[in-house]
Amino acid sequence: MFHILRRLAGNLAQGPVSLRFPAEVPPPAGLRGLVRIDPGRCLACGICSYVCVSNAITGAESQGAYAWAYEPGRCTFCGRCEDHCPGSALSMDPQAPPSYTTPGELARTATVAFPACPVCGEPNPHVTEEWIGKAFGAPNGETRELLRLCVRCRRRRIAQGMKQPHGGQP
Amino acid sequence: MGVLEPILLRLVDRARRKSAWLFHFNAGACNGCDIELVACLTPRYDVEQLGIRLEGSPRHADILCVTGPVTRTTREALRTIHAQLPDPKVVVAIGSCPATANVFAGSPVIDGPVDRIIPVDLFIPGCPPRPNAVVQGIAEAIELLVAKGVAQ
């Protein structure tokens, strides 16, 4: 009885709770909006397109580059891509996406260019310093150099090292 | 008519802007978007301040709000309801499902997305969209409705 009276008195003093129309409600902390990519940190691994439940993210390698595409109309805003990205290249906008009139209007694309292999010149997915630190801690110069090579050159270099007598340098 | 015509047209235009009625159609949605649409009608977001009324009959409505990917059983109902709305009409797709069928794309029981069945004027992205985004979207839909009325 007293509880409801207290609530009624509070309501009387408070004024209307309705938001006047062009009211901006601040988005809550951690709201998942559109997915953004930082091409400088992308490892072109394709994990994001693999974990995406609704195939909103697609990625394909073509002509020495990785073409990343995102279609927000298909997005479930689940955040799995952000969670699984090994290079921390993906993040999500902190505000809700705006409405649109033509399908595919909010689509985002990015091209991740591959640097050339220092030995043969083949385009090769680059390896970021951050990822090297995550995977190997602080590797020595040789490991670091091997990571920059393309797969074929890396194999060749390791095979040469195995052929050398024990303790020898490749 | 003559002298009265521009006055009457302005009156109709004003009536459209100030009292657009809304029909909600669930084309197989998971109920998430429907709950967000109902949240717009609560005192806090209060979409009725724009003159909106959730109408039970499509024959009295101006805006058709569609939620959900179109399932096989709702396809014909969606076509019929769209035909029953008087012109000018605006179709608003709420959420990711009506826009692209979202996770249900490629399913044998889904005939969507909605724009394969009926023309869609406005998409509100989100899974589900926030009530604030729905209110903003409906306000944009009213502008589209007025523009369509002028063109007619």
Looking at this predicted complex, what is its ipTM? 0.81
Interchain pair A77, B46: CB under 8 A: no
- With CA atoms as reference, the chain B residue closest to A17 would be B44
Chains A and B form CB pairs within 8 A to the count of 80
Burial class of residue A16 (count of CB atoms within 10 Å of its CB; 0-12, 13-18, 19+): exposed
Q: List CB contacts (< 8 A) between A95 and chain B.
A: none
The 10 Å Cβ neighbour count of residue A122 is: 14
Chain segment A11-26, per-residue pLDDT in tens: 888 888 888 878 777 8
pTM strictly above 0.80: yes
Tokens of A75: 């997005």
Q: Rounded to whole angstroms, how far apart are CA atoms B49 and B62?
A: 17
Mutate to test the interface with A, among B103, B121, B135, B145 (most CBs of A within 10 A): B103
Q: List CB contacts (< 8 A) between B133 and chain A.
A: 96-99
Interchain pair A25, B127: CB under 8 A: no
Chain segment B125-138, per-residue pLDDT in tens: 988 888 888 888 99
Residues 6+ apart with CB under 8 A from B129: A96, B33, B36, B94, B95, B137
Interchain pair B100, A103: CB under 8 A: yes
